Amino acid sequence: MADRRDVLRMGVLAAGIVTPAVAATPALAGPRLERDGRDRDRRRARPLVIGHRGASGYRPEHTLASYELAARMGADFIEPDLVSTKDGVLVARHEPEIGGTTDVAARPEFAARRRTVLLDGVPVTGWFTHDFTLAELKTLRAVERLPQVRQRNTLYDGLFTIPTFQEVLDLRARLSKELGRRIGVYPETKHPTYFRDLGLDLETPLARVLRRNDLDHSGAPVFVQSFEAGNLRALRAEHRLRVPLIFLTAAAGNPFNDPRSYADYLTPAGLRELSAFVAGIGPEKNQIIPRRPDGTLGSPTSLVGDAHDAGLALHPYTFRAENQFLPVDFRVTNDPNAYGRAIDEQITFLRAGIDGLFTDQPDIGVLARSLAFAAAEDA
């Protein structure tokens, strides 16, 4: 019987995302053929390039323009973070708080909506999607979240609306036809317990929208991700979602309202338990290759091997080209906002055995992947 990873790979292969020549896993390929590392490399599925919040290195995040650019740059998947409006519609925003990613603060008609909420136990002040109907949110315009880092992206401030999840799926369908390949969608449920407590559960509309778009089956080009294991369990057991699920992990702490830490989940035993309901994990990249105390890139942990042994894929986050996000030894100048050796960083992680990566600059991810594979062929 195929294990979870085989199912995941078959689903991705059926989605047309994996090159057939390199897609077979040992379980699918029959007797082991490898004579050396090159054979193993050829059989591994091609790692996925996931456009993190679209192509957020080049456009304000979570806008249709950002997702479209990611697809045109070659991303296999586009990644919307999902939150709910007051009237229960899923929209793409990084957080329920929208003061930093829209022009809401400049809208006098919404000034009274500013308030403080307890978000996963942390007080947060601002404007929240769940205080706005979809019609009201649609009057807002997106702005660059990191204007000091990505000043060029402020060129697009005020041009784009907040997209609904349905609009992201419509874009995905249109671009898949136009580009002649199936673009995948990789939604994340943001703060699912928080939204459930507000009476706005994310799971029900997520399952409904996926099914309405014929995207809830094992061959669909979809992953659903969450930082809450309980949310993923519910999506599988109660909502009967059939697409592969990915458990996101942080370098420290616990999922909200969960006595188990992320570190507990990442032990070999924890990974085996996870494999009962998820197809993979999305670790913070430093959990795969930590940095040394001086900020340079250290040696890989056992996480790739441990996860693969449990039948789980790994899609770490977040690869960004600017120096400030890179290990010290991959930085090029003292300008924190200038680009460093991001291609080399990604090649290093790809060679460590990851199965995909979230990146703000999908064009760099595509290039790094091609170079990493070319290097394996030449070895």
Which residue's CB is nearer to ligand G3P, number 12 or number 23? 12
Q: Is there binding between residue 360 and Ca ion (CB under 5 A)?
A: no
- Would you call 189 helix, strand, or coil by DSSP? strand
Is residue 81 a contact residue for Ca ion (CB under 5 A)? yes
Please name the residues in contact with 294: beta carbons below 8 A apart, sequence gap of 6 or more.
328
Q: Please report, as residue ranges, which positions from 195 to 254 form the binding site for ligand G3P (by CB under 6 A).
A: 225, 248
CB of 56 to ligand G3P, least distance (A): 9
Which stretch, 108-116, 118-126, 186-194, 232-240, contacts Ca ion (CB under 5 A)?
186-194
Nearer to ligand G3P, 81 or 306 (CB): 81
- Chain positions 333 to 362 lying near ligand G3P, rule: CB under 6 A, are 358
How far apart are alpha carbons 81 and 58 in whole angstroms? 17
Q: Specify whether the CB–CB gap between 228 and 207 falls below 8 A.
A: no
| 61 touches ligand G3P (CB under 6 A) | no
Contact of residue 5 among Ca ion, ligand G3P, none (CB under 5-8 Å per partner type): none
Two tokens at 164?
């609904």
- Output 118-121 pairs: Cβ under 8 A, ≥24 positions apart: 119/191, 119/194, 120/191, 120/193, 120/194, 120/256, 121/256
**DSSP bridge partners of 284:** 317
Nearer to ligand G3P, 110 or 247 (CB): 247
- In contact, 204 and 197? CB cutoff 8 Å: no
61 sits near Ca ion (criterion: CB under 5 A): no
Residues in 62-121 at the binding interface with ligand G3P, rule: CB under 6 A = 81
Residue 80 in contact with residue 71, Cβ under 8 Å?
no
Q: How far apart are CA 355 and CA 22, in angstroms?
A: 13
Contact pick of 188, 201, 203, 355 for Ca ion (by CB under 5 A): 188
Residue 201 in the binding site for Ca ion (CB under 5 A): no
The item of Ca ion, ligand G3P, none sharing an interface with residue 248, based on CB under 5 to 8 Å by kind, is ligand G3P
Q: Does 325 participate in binding ligand G3P (rule CB under 6 A)?
A: no
Q: Which is nearer to Ca ion, 226 or 275 (CB)?
A: 226
- Interface with ligand G3P includes 317 (CB under 6 A)? yes
Task: Indicate the DSSP class of residue 183.
Answer: P
The set of residues, in sequence order, having a beta carbon less than 8 Å from that of 301 and lying 6+ positions away, is 287, 288, 289, 290
Cα 12 to Cα 219: distance, rounded to the nearest angstrom: 7
Question: Which residues sit at the interface with ligand G3P, rule CB under 6 A?
Answer: 52, 81, 188, 225, 248, 282, 317-318, 358
